[in-house]
Amino acid sequence: MLKDIDKREKFVRLAEGRTQSALDAIRKLGNLSNRRAYEYSDSDVKKIVKALRDATSDIERKFGSTATDGVDKFKL
Protein backbone atom coordinates (compact mmCIF):
# COMPACT_ATOMS: atom_id res chain seq x y z
CA MET A 1 0.00 0.00 0.00
CA LEU A 2 2.80 2.42 0.89
CA LYS A 3 4.48 1.64 -2.42
CA ASP A 4 1.30 2.62 -4.30
CA ILE A 5 1.13 5.92 -2.40
CA ASP A 6 4.77 6.63 -3.25
CA LYS A 7 4.07 5.90 -6.93
CA ARG A 8 1.03 8.21 -6.86
CA GLU A 9 2.95 11.02 -5.18
CA LYS A 10 5.79 10.67 -7.67
CA PHE A 11 3.33 10.70 -10.59
CA VAL A 12 1.56 13.82 -9.31
CA ARG A 13 4.84 15.66 -8.68
CA LEU A 14 6.28 14.82 -12.09
CA ALA A 15 3.01 15.33 -13.99
CA GLU A 16 2.44 18.77 -12.47
CA GLY A 17 5.98 19.94 -13.24
CA ARG A 18 6.09 18.55 -16.76
CA THR A 19 2.61 19.80 -17.62
CA GLN A 20 3.50 23.28 -16.37
CA SER A 21 6.68 23.23 -18.47
CA ALA A 22 4.69 22.18 -21.54
CA LEU A 23 2.13 24.94 -20.96
CA ASP A 24 4.91 27.51 -20.55
CA ALA A 25 6.48 26.35 -23.82
CA ILE A 26 3.13 26.63 -25.61
CA ARG A 27 2.69 30.18 -24.30
CA LYS A 28 6.17 31.02 -25.60
CA LEU A 29 5.18 29.68 -29.01
CA GLY A 30 2.22 32.05 -28.89
CA ASN A 31 4.63 34.94 -28.41
CA LEU A 32 5.97 34.20 -31.90
CA SER A 33 2.68 35.43 -33.37
CA ASN A 34 3.93 39.03 -33.21
CA ARG A 35 4.30 39.88 -36.91
CA ARG A 36 6.29 43.02 -36.10
CA ALA A 37 9.04 40.91 -34.59
CA TYR A 38 8.82 37.73 -36.70
CA GLU A 39 8.08 36.65 -40.23
CA TYR A 40 6.19 33.41 -40.84
CA SER A 41 3.75 31.88 -43.27
CA ASP A 42 0.36 30.26 -42.76
CA SER A 43 2.07 27.00 -43.67
CA ASP A 44 4.50 27.45 -40.76
CA VAL A 45 1.61 28.01 -38.35
CA LYS A 46 -0.25 24.95 -39.65
CA LYS A 47 2.86 22.79 -39.15
CA ILE A 48 3.29 24.01 -35.57
CA VAL A 49 -0.37 23.44 -34.71
CA LYS A 50 -0.34 19.99 -36.34
CA ALA A 51 2.78 18.99 -34.40
CA LEU A 52 1.12 20.05 -31.13
CA ARG A 53 -2.13 18.25 -31.97
CA ASP A 54 -0.23 15.10 -32.95
CA ALA A 55 1.70 15.22 -29.67
CA THR A 56 -1.47 15.56 -27.58
CA SER A 57 -3.10 12.72 -29.53
CA ASP A 58 -0.04 10.60 -28.83
CA ILE A 59 -0.32 11.34 -25.10
CA GLU A 60 -3.98 10.30 -25.13
CA ARG A 61 -3.06 7.04 -26.88
CA LYS A 62 -0.26 6.34 -24.41
CA PHE A 63 -2.49 6.83 -21.39
CA GLY A 64 -5.24 4.79 -23.03
CA SER A 65 -3.13 1.80 -24.00
CA THR A 66 0.39 0.47 -24.16
CA ALA A 67 2.23 2.11 -27.01
CA THR A 68 5.74 2.02 -28.35
CA ASP A 69 7.97 4.88 -27.34
CA GLY A 70 8.83 7.02 -30.34
CA VAL A 71 10.60 10.33 -30.10
CA ASP A 72 9.67 12.72 -32.90
CA LYS A 73 11.60 15.86 -33.67
CA PHE A 74 9.75 18.92 -34.91
CA LYS A 75 11.03 20.74 -37.99
CA LEU A 76 9.49 23.40 -40.20
To the nearest 5 percent, what fractions of the chain are helix, strand and coil?
70, 0, 30
Per-residue pLDDT tens for 52-69?
999 999 999 999 965 455
Cβ(44)–Cβ(76) below 8 Å: yes
The number of beta carbons lying within 10 Å of the beta carbon of residue 6 is: 10
pLDDT score recorded for residue 76: 79
Enter the pTM of the model. 0.75
Per-residue pLDDT tens for 5-52?
899 999 999 999 999 999 999 999 999 999 999 999 999 999 999 999
- Rounded (5°) CA angle 22-11-27: 10
